[in-house]
Structure 1
Amino acid sequence: MRIFNNRQEIADAAGQKLGVSEWVAISQDRIDMFADATGDRQWIHIDTERAADGPFGVTVAHGYLTLSMLPFLGAQVFAFAGDVARVNYGLNKVRFVSPVRVGQRSATGS
């Protein structure tokens, strides 16, 4: 795990690979809880029967669910030294280029 001690070390790491987190399987229960929390209950996420006949053959995770996992996954790869507060500054050019199917562990479906 990489530990950043100051802002300069973070800036110097721009463009570098920091590491890889563990796989996280996306369960239907996780998708359903996210749907409940956000109010986004579109059938493609929560209706397993209808989704079976849909474009992906199964339900798919919300794009924002996958995005919301970044802090959890990032914490397995890097940390900040000391007891500091972190604030999400935002993201630019986020795109959801591949659906994450229920039970899937990677963009390739493994």
Structure 2
Amino acid sequence: MKNLRPGGEGVFDAEVEGTANLPYTVHVDTVHVRQSHCDCPHAAGTKRICKHMVATVFTAYPQQVDAFKWEVEQEELAFQREEEAHRAELVRYVNSLKKDELREALLAALIELEERQDRWW
């Protein structure tokens, strides 16, 4: 991060190191987010938020980094719990099937995969 410059309430301009030889020019407006922009290939000429804008915000508001990390970790834990519960339900379902029902379910799943062109072979 180079030259972080406040430009008013919630507005920041910066030069952010990227993969290009030259730094990207970033303008972040935390009040009017859609007015933010960066000249990187991902965001240039669009209203997309890019990693350079996020880096600018975290540099301007370093106290927010820990809160953001905590929120991300909580979301990841919630997703893992949901995934584990779903897997457990699948195991219970498969274990409840009789041999012929299991064959039919497997065949139906393979046909569905094939129709989606996600060939299993």
Does TM-score exceed 0.5, indicating one fold?
Answer: no
User: Which of the pair is proportionally richer in helix?
Assistant: 2
User: Which of the pair is proportionally richer in strand?
Assistant: 2
* Larger CA Rg, structure 1 vs 2: 2
TM-score by length of 2: 0.22
TM-score by length of 1: 0.24
Instruction: Report which structure shows greater RCO (CA 8 Å, sep ≥6).
Output: 1
